[in-house]
Structures are given as structure tokens and as C-alpha cells.
Structure 1
């Protein structure tokens, strides 16, 4: 049985001053692994953001699993998170609107610069593909300047799975291409930061694991993930898709190479 629910303490999320920063009831970061923002940045914000550090297969704190910004204050907090944690890659797995519901506010510029508190965000380049878009952004704060690349997968319905497994696996390879150890965590978000976000993180973790081991344990991976980000991988459909995507990658060597024997938990 894979654990589910709020498994660890989450007092910070319930503080009066932080409640407006949680989009969904009961989707809270755990105190022990939440991303704590530096309040000495002259933004007037709190130290709270609905986001958790998640350990990867290769590194601790390899990812940050986050909810998508949905208010002006969470837009600013999102850029504080990216800046303070030296993040250079952001994976977005939701569309801004799905049906008639706003799932995430736009935190990047299309043509003209956008300002979020002390952060000036400028568009540098955009590559649009059928199911995803890659945007290169320049972020400035005072005299400092950083480059951030956003990888936006646009064909993954909420609480469901992508129809095209090959494109998602190709997208994942683009996200991690040429990543350097000194880079900050990869920010992964959808709307709540649990279903699509958890599925993507687990997929990346397990594909890295299978490159170095002759078997992988899907149940153990998802259990550990939920101990860091509550409710990760929301539906049976997403869990089944995760298993199917790993098997698909094992049989299509464009996605990875190495010795593959067995996959536990399937």
C-alpha cells in the first residue's frame, strides 16, 4: 500500500499570514522539506511558498515541486523561489486555462518585459513545438542577471495523462540535457504541484535509476515522493501511465540505453 494524505507536520502552511498563499485546501508543503524563502530581500513577503524540495536519484534536492502562481503575491514568491535557489530550469505541466478555469497565472513575458517586485523578466527566445514550448528568459535583479529556461508541456490534461508518450519522453530528455551539477534544483509545477508534477518527477527519477541498476522499484519511488510532496501522483491513471512510460522507454533506446532486467511494483 502506497501512503497517501498529509503524512508530516505542516504548521507553516496553516499560519494565518500564509493561508492566502495556498491555492488548494489540504495541498500543503511539509515543514521539514518546504522551500523557505529569504525575507531579507526587500520584497515584503513572508518566508512561505507552497513548494517542497524533492530528492532525486542523483542528488538531494534535485527538484522543487511547486504549485503554480495564482495571485500577485504568489507570482512574486515564485520568482523569489527561482532566484534564491539559483534555479535555471522550470518545468510547467499545466496550461494557463483548462476549460474555463484559470490553472496558473502567466509569470513570463511574451514580447515585452515584465516586472515582479525587484525582478525584471525579459524574453530572449521561444521555440514552439506541437505539444511543448521552450522559452529562454533573462531575469534581472539590481545589477545581477540570470538566465532561466522554461519548458512548458502543453498536452497534459489535469488529473489525466498525455496521449503521446513519446513526446513526453522526448520532452523529459530536453529538460535534463547538459544539466550541470552546480545548477540549482529543477522547478516542476502544474496547478497544485502534485499530480502531473509528481508523475514527471517520478518518471525522471526512475529513468535515471534504471540507467545504473538492473531493477527499479516504482512503489518505493512513489512512497518516498509522497513523503516529500503530499498527494504526489493523484490518480490510478497517472500511476499506470508512469509504469507504461518506463516500459516504453526500456523498449525504445532513443530514450535511454543500459542493462534492463526487471521493474518491481508493476
Structure 2
């Protein structure tokens, strides 16, 4: 159960809650030490004079719940009525079309039939003329296709019956027939919980966690400067670093603040605790389930005009970004000895269902099959169009080249400098030639452009030889988004052209920055959305972001990056329009 702090013990930061070192926590769900009466006098047992007791609050809450239920039922009745009318109009339209009428005249006649039925329910004059009676006689006397009429009527009756059952069920239990947990609890309790959840979502107060800095606080996220929020240290593990076989991922409960480079973690295991909990993970909590549903269903289609307006609406973009779940992986999923040396950041981990699995002679050795990378879908749901991965470390350069060879990748896109205040990525390529994991990597040529450099490699393993291009984008400023959109857009278009020239048997395009989620997410989203804009004439940036985060948590990592993607797409649409006019 998540407990929330009283506002007096929260520090005034935008999105996180810290415990001040000089204060004890006051829990909101814990009764106060001294309950007070209306006038401030301490309450004593047996004093019924106070009017501010719980009964009044309960009555007010019950009244609010009742109004909410009635309102919800009225809305649903309208929806069911609309469904009924649509089903009947569609059925009779099919009937009249089969009878030899034109499509448009069939629609008019179907509306006349509905008009006839409404005459029995509502005391009003016919809307579509007085000849509905004549039309109904024709329908009744028709024998050849009367099964369509009977079927339409049956569907209408079924909708009415289901509607009544659904309404009764919803009034009784507070949720519909298809809602989860409809049979548990009373209607009042469920509606109260709905109202409470709604208030909490509006208040946007995150769950309380005690916090500690990660050892990679500055470059956990690519853009934001280190916030000046004091952190209460609850203790550190002073164990020295051992060899890879003895290292394990520290069990932590992860809570990421979107758009910052702070990892808020709470060590839930005391020093010396050895309880294994990386295996047999528990099912998703209701909150996680709702996050998954949002990521699967979130959508906001933008026409060109809407896109240009939306790109300038910072407030709406911020609201949309912060409402979209990040879908980070709980470190409990990867409780394997020695795995810490395989990850650049201990809280940025690959989502399990889509992670890249390296082939190994010993499939039972998890470490030899692991790399911090995920397959991502491309435009139109194309499977494994991209691989998003972290910038290789000294320990994972060999794994990286194994992945490049295994996946037959023709292109690598690198969007980070080797160092930005500290190391962002290891220099995993040679000056001339080098061999990693039996793969010989040879530099063929290096071309320097304004905003990126292009290296062409030859990879050779055994008798097989392949060509590989690496686009190294160096114009992304440290801890910021680019001031101008054209350079990134030009890189996206150049990579698309190179991809079209690659052999048909080629595998995914590999994209990485440092953590493999921020700048990487911007590039992949822009590439997908440019194709959508050219093909469909619209873009759905929210849908693309949700799909990317389903496959790799945290893609498009900050609100500034989300806004930047909108700006890039707005510019691209103007370019397309200008080209079309010419």
C-alpha cells in the first residue's frame, strides 16, 4: 500500500517528494494525535455536540456518489440509444438496397422506418413525411428478403435487453458488465474509489519514496541539468566492488521522475538480505495494468494544420507528455549475478518481452545472451525495424559487435558525443582495423558533414563479408535539445536513403545515444512519423510514443524532447507542402 505524506513534510519541488532531514514523516492515512472539535477544544468521549463529525462528510460523499452514478447512467443510456438507432438504420438500409433501391434513397427509407417506430414512443409529428405508414406496409408485405427485417429487429431487441441488464448491473455494483472486478464490493464503495482515484490523478501527487542519487546522476537522462533539490540519505551500501561473478543488481523500488536526471529509489532490502525476488515476478498491479492499456490505446491524430498549432502549444504538449506512462522496467526483473557490468545505468534496463537476445554456445548462461537493447516496431507495425540500445561501455563493446553481426544490421546511428561532462559512450570502432568476438571490423572511409560524420566499415566473419554504415550525429548540445530542427531532419532522411540502398536481407537499423531512450527515441519517432506524414498526410505522435515505450521504457525521455519532435514534424510538413506546390 502506498502511503502519502502530509503537505507539511514535502519539499516544494515540481514532481518529487523528499523527506526533510529535520522532520518526522506525518502520514495522511494515520489519525492525528489530537482530534479537535469545531472550536478547537480537544474532543472527549461522549460529546455529541460537535456537528463536524464523520456523518456529515459521509452524507455529502454519498450524495456526490449518487449524482455521479445518475450522470453516468444517463450518458450510457444515450450511447445505447445511439447504438440501437445505428443498428436499425444499417439493417433497413441493407434491406432496401437488396430490394433494388439506390444507396441514398435506401438511407432515406431506413430513416422513415425509424421515424415510424419513434411515433409510438414520442408524441411528435413524423420527421420524414407522412408516407412512413405506406412504407411500413411495403416492408411487411415483402416476403423475399424479410429475413433481413427479422434479423434487424432481433438485433434491436438484443441491444435493448443487454442495455437493461447492463444498467441494472452498473447501478448495483458501480461498474458495467465488462469492467474488471464488477462483482466485488458495493456500488457506493466502487464509485467512491472512482472519485478518489479521479481526485488523485488531478492532483498529480506521486507516491512517496525516500531518495538517493544514483552513481550516474548527471547522465541518466540526456538533457536536464542536475536539480538543486536536497536529498535525505537513508544509508549507503559501502561494500567494495568485486568481480563480475559476485556482483548483483541492488534490489530497488524504482520511481522515475519524467524529464529529470534524478532516479528516486528506495532500497527495500536491508544490508545482507539475500531473498531472491528476480524470479517468478508478481502479476501487474492495477496501476501498471492501466498504464499498459493507455500505451496500447493512446492516440491523437494530427492533420497538418493541427500539427502546426500543436507544435506551438507548450502547455498542451506538457500535459500530454506527463500523462503518458514511461513504462520503465523494475530492476527486480534482472536479478542476475554480474549483470551490473552489462548496463551503463542501473535503472535503464531493456523491457523483457522485446529485448535482443544474443546467440551463445551456452544458452543457459544468461550473461552471454544479454545486451541492453530492444527491438522496436517501425511504421505500419513493421516488426524489428529498429534496435534501440545503450551506448556501448568498455565491458560491452564485444557484445555490441556480436549484435551487429547477428542481426545483419546495415546502419548504426549514434547520437551522442563520447564525453559530455563524463563518459557517454565508449569508442567502440577502430582507427583502422580490429577484431571483436571473431568479427573483423575495418574502416573503409570517413566522411565529415556539417552535423554528422559517416564511417563505412567492412565486417568479416569466416568467409562472409558485409558493409556497414555508421552515422555519428555530433550536433546535439549537451543537456539540451537542438536549437534548430533541420539538422536532425536531414539525418533522418539520409538514413532512410541509406536504408533503401541496403540489401533486402538486411536487419534492423541500430540507434543509440548514451542511455538509449532519449535522443534515440527522438530519432526513431521522427523517422516513423515522417513516413506516416508522407503516406497518410497525418501524424499521430502520441501513438508512436506509446508504441515505442511499450517496447522500451522511457523512449522520448523529456518533455523538451517531446516538443522538439513536434517541431521537427511541423517543419517537415511545411517542406512537403512547399515541394508539392512547386
TM-score after normalising by structure 1: 0.88
**For the structure 1 residues 136 and 214, does the alpha-carbon distance in structure 2 shift closer, same or farther, using more than 3 Å as the test?**
same
Give the secondary-structure state (helix, strand or coil) at the position aligned to 2:383.
Answer: coil
Quick one: which of 336, 340, 345 aligns to 1:19? 340
**For the structure 1 residues 171 and 10, does the alpha-carbon distance in structure 2 shift closer, same or farther, using more than 3 Å as the test?**
farther
Give the secondary-structure state (helix, strand or coil) at the position aligned to 2:379.
Answer: coil
Quick one: which of 226, 229, 244 aligns to 2:552? 229
Tell me, yes or no, if structure 1 residue 114 matches structure 2 residue 434: yes
Where does residue 164 of structure 2 map in the other structure? none
Q: Are the counterparts in 2 of residues 94 and 104 from structure 1 also a CA contact under 8 Å?
A: yes
Q: Are the counterparts in 2 of residues 211 and 257 from structure 1 also a CA contact under 8 Å?
A: no
Q: Are the counterparts in 1 of residues 434 and 442 from structure 2 also a CA contact under 8 Å?
A: yes
Where does residue 474 of structure 2 map in the other structure? 154
CA apart distance, 1:198: 0.5
Tell me, yes or no, if structure 1 residue 88 matches structure 2 residue 404: no
In 2: Cα distance, 1:258 partner to 1:121 partner: 43
Aligned length: 253
Give the secondary-structure state (helix, strand or coil) at the position aligned to 2:516.
Answer: coil
**For the structure 1 residues 235 and 158, does the alpha-carbon distance in structure 2 shift closer, same or farther, using more than 3 Å as the test?**
farther
Where does residue 530 of structure 2 map in the other structure? 207
For residues 144-192 of structure 1, give each alpha carbon's deviation from its aligned partner in whole angstroms, at most 9, with x where no partner exists. Answer: 2111100110011354222231121111111110524432100000010
CA apart distance, 1:76: 0.2
Where does residue 168 of structure 1 map in the other structure? 488
**Which deviates the most, 80-89 or 150-159?**
150-159
For residues 108-157 of structure 1, give each alpha carbon's deviation from its aligned partner in whole angstroms, at most 9, with x where no partner exists. Answer: 122x2122231211110111012100100011122221111001100113
Where does residue 373 of structure 2 map in the other structure? 51
Give the secondary-structure state (helix, strand or coil) at the position aligned to 1:245.
Answer: helix
TM-score after normalising by structure 2: 0.41
Q: Are the counterparts in 2 of residues 122 and 139 from structure 1 also a CA contact under 8 Å?
A: yes
**For the structure 1 residues 214 and 174, does the alpha-carbon distance in structure 2 shift closer, same or farther, using more than 3 Å as the test?**
closer
Where does residue 263 of structure 1 map in the other structure? none
For residues 94-113 of structure 1, give each alpha carbon's deviation from its aligned partner in whole angstroms, at most 9, with x where no partner exists. Answer: 011113x1111111122x21
Q: Are the counterparts in 1 of residues 340 and 346 from structure 2 also a CA contact under 8 Å?
A: no
Matches within 5 A, 1:3-152: 3-6=325-328, 11=333, 13-40=334-361, 46-58=368-380, 59-71=382-394, 73-99=395-421, 101-110=422-431, 112-152=432-472
**For the structure 1 residues 14 and 199, does the alpha-carbon distance in structure 2 shift closer, same or farther, using more than 3 Å as the test?**
farther
**For the structure 1 residues 143 and 202, does the alpha-carbon distance in structure 2 shift closer, same or farther, using more than 3 Å as the test?**
same
Give the secondary-structure state (helix, strand or coil) at the position aligned to 1:124.
Answer: strand
Give the secondary-structure state (helix, strand or coil) at the position aligned to 2:352.
Answer: coil
Give the secondary-structure state (helix, strand or coil) at the position aligned to 1:179.
Answer: helix
CA apart distance, 1:208: 0.8
Give the secondary-structure state (helix, strand or coil) at the position aligned to 1:123.
Answer: strand
- Name the one with the larger helix percent: 2
- Name the one with the larger strand percent: 1
Q: Are the counterparts in 2 of residues 120 and 139 from structure 1 also a CA contact under 8 Å?
A: yes
Larger Rg: 2
For residues 27-66 of structure 1, give each alpha carbon's deviation from its aligned partner in whole angstroms, at most 9, with x where no partner exists. Answer: 110111000000039xx96100000000000421100000
**For the structure 1 residues 217 and 249, does the alpha-carbon distance in structure 2 shift closer, same or farther, using more than 3 Å as the test?**
same
Where does residue 264 of structure 1 map in the other structure? none
Q: Give unmatched runs, 5+ long, in structure 2.
A: 1-322
In 2: Cα distance, 1:10 partner to 1:125 partner: 44
In 2: Cα distance, 1:38 partner to 1:258 partner: 47
Q: Are the counterparts in 2 of residues 161 and 237 from structure 1 also a CA contact under 8 Å?
A: yes
Q: Give unmatched runs, 5+ long, in structure 1.
A: 260-266
Give the secondary-structure state (helix, strand or coil) at the position aligned to 1:39.
Answer: coil
CA apart distance, 1:257: 6.4
